Amino acid sequence: MAHPDGNRADDKAVSIVIDGRQVNARAGETLLQAAERIGVTIPTLCHDERLAPTGACRMCLVESSDSRRMVPACRHPVVDGLVVQTETERVARHRRGLLSLYAADVDVVPGTELQAHIRRYGLDPGLPAANAPRAGRPDDDNRYVLFQPESCIVCARCTRYCDEIEAVSAITLAHRGSQTTIATVDDVSLLDSTCELCGGCIDTCPTGALVERKSAHRQATFPALKPVRTTCNYCGVGCQFDLQVDAAANEVVRVTSPAPGETTNDGNLCVKGRFAYGFIGHPERLTTPLIRDEAGELVATDWDTALDRAAALLQKTAARHGANSLGFISSSRCTNEENYLVQKLSRAAFGTNNCHQCAAT
């Protein structure tokens, strides 16, 4: 519960040692949070800072002076005087063994957290494929979210995101043991579930088991795409995202969100921001200036002709009826700079204040 002055009840300072370095932390924090603050990266798979920690994947186990067994850093609380070691041979052996089990269980996808961990820590022992397939949803006909069960480690980041952040609980863990999978109620299509297609499940998935269907066939090329950080063009929240660009094809291949905590949207996007980018290169886009010809038809023309015609029409109207017979509608879809230029066109070029942005009514 919040105190009126904004301080929280559990703000007590504690001091611990991580890999030989003194760290000041606050009671209620986890080892993972304390380590991150001093730049010590502990590998995780089921962790997402937006979600309540579960300690399910065992990737973040470290040695801690308060336990004989290794502890999951993502949910182990800091205690004053604790001594923690994150990179011992025992920890490394555990990571190699654990990753071997995951690699035997699933298809490892390039560019994912799982693959990065395998590259960094290696696999030992090498294990044969477990050949214990889990069920997917082959009949799910939604066009955005594709579940590839052969790459799923059942870390449940997706289902917890759906419960705790989007809060629509459209997907859930189902079945038991090696059969455990990500399901909808009665295995219906996401289109027929409570899903709102925010795609947060794709974004949080550490293995590429959840992927955008539109670009899934290009999954292997994702690491080669060029990210361009920009601002969403839909509502006024101003989410930041990365347009993932195939520069040679002049094409936005997919949209990804920045890491949680990095921008105002905290790694979240909605269905429109994440998926509704098909208009960018749409074949119906206007590609040439148009002017109305003598027959009354709109026909293609060049820029000089179009600009001259537009300027002449506006100037003629102003000359005949006065500047206040003109109106300039600017756009809340366009940039600040462009809105500034429209009001300057209205005021400085023509001398009228008849200028308003489109969202005014």
Site for other proteins in 102-161 (CB under 8 A): 141-144
228-287 residues in contact with other proteins (CB under 8 A) are 228-240, 243, 245, 250-252, 263-266, 268-273, 275-282, 284-287
DSSP states along 19-50: TTEEEEEETT-BHHHHHHHTTPPPP-SS--TT
Query: Of residues 54, 169, 180, 352, which one binds other proteins by CB under 8 A?
Result: 352
- Name the residue with tokens 């063009």: 233
- Give the integer Cα–Cα distance in Å for 317 and 319: 5
Of 116 and 359, CB closest to other proteins: 359
Residue 34 interacts with other proteins (CB under 8 A)?
no
Residue in 209, 224, 244 with CA at minimum distance from that of residue 109: 209
Of 101 and 252, CB closest to other proteins: 252
Whole-number minimum distance, CB 1 to other proteins, in Å? 8
- Encoded one letter per residue, x for contact with other proteins by CB under 8 A and - for no contact, window 175-214 reads ----------------x----xxx---------------x
Q: Which two tokens stand for residue 27?
A: 């009671």
Render the burial of 286-314: b for 16+ CB within 10 Å, e for the rest: eeebebeeeeeeeeebeeeeeeeeeeeeb
Whole-number minimum distance, CB 186 to other proteins, in Å? 19
Of 136 and 267, CB closest to other proteins: 267
The residues with which 172 forms a beta bridge, in sequence order, are 183
Q: At 229, is the secondary structure helix, strand, or coil?
A: strand
Of 67 and 264, CB closest to other proteins: 264
The residues with which 256 forms a beta bridge, in sequence order, are 242
Whole-number minimum distance, CB 10 to other proteins, in Å? 14
Whole-number minimum distance, CB 39 to other proteins, in Å? 20
| Alpha helix segments (H runs only) across 106-243 | 113-121, 157-164, 200-204
Whole-number minimum distance, CB 257 to other proteins, in Å? 9
- Give the integer Cα–Cα distance in Å for 29 and 33: 6
Residue 324 interacts with other proteins (CB under 8 A)?
yes
Query: Of residues 80, 88, 164, 179, which one binds other proteins by CB under 8 A?
Result: 164
* Site size with other proteins, rule: CB under 8 A: 118
Q: Is 10 exposed, middle or buried (0-12, 13-18, 19+ CB in 10 A)?
A: exposed
210-229 residues in contact with other proteins (CB under 8 A) are 214, 228-229
The stretch among 22-30, 83-91, 149-157, 349-357 that binds other proteins (CB under 8 A) is 349-357
Of 156 and 269, CB closest to other proteins: 269
The residues with which 252 forms a beta bridge, in sequence order, are 245
Q: At 191, is the secondary structure helix, strand, or coil?
A: helix
Of 125 and 303, CB closest to other proteins: 303
- Give the integer Cα–Cα distance in Å for 76 and 194: 34
Of 113 and 166, CB closest to other proteins: 166
Whole-number minimum distance, CB 150 to other proteins, in Å? 24
Of 178 and 325, CB closest to other proteins: 325
HEC sequence for 130-153: CCCCCCCCCCCCCCCEEECHHHCC
Of 172 and 352, CB closest to other proteins: 352
- Check if the beta carbon of residue 243 is closer than 8 Å to that of residue 252: yes
Half-sphere exposure of 62 (CA within 13 A, CB side): 28
Whole-number minimum distance, CB 135 to other proteins, in Å? 23
Whole-number minimum distance, CB 16 to other proteins, in Å? 26
Whole-number minimum distance, CB 285 to other proteins, in Å? 5
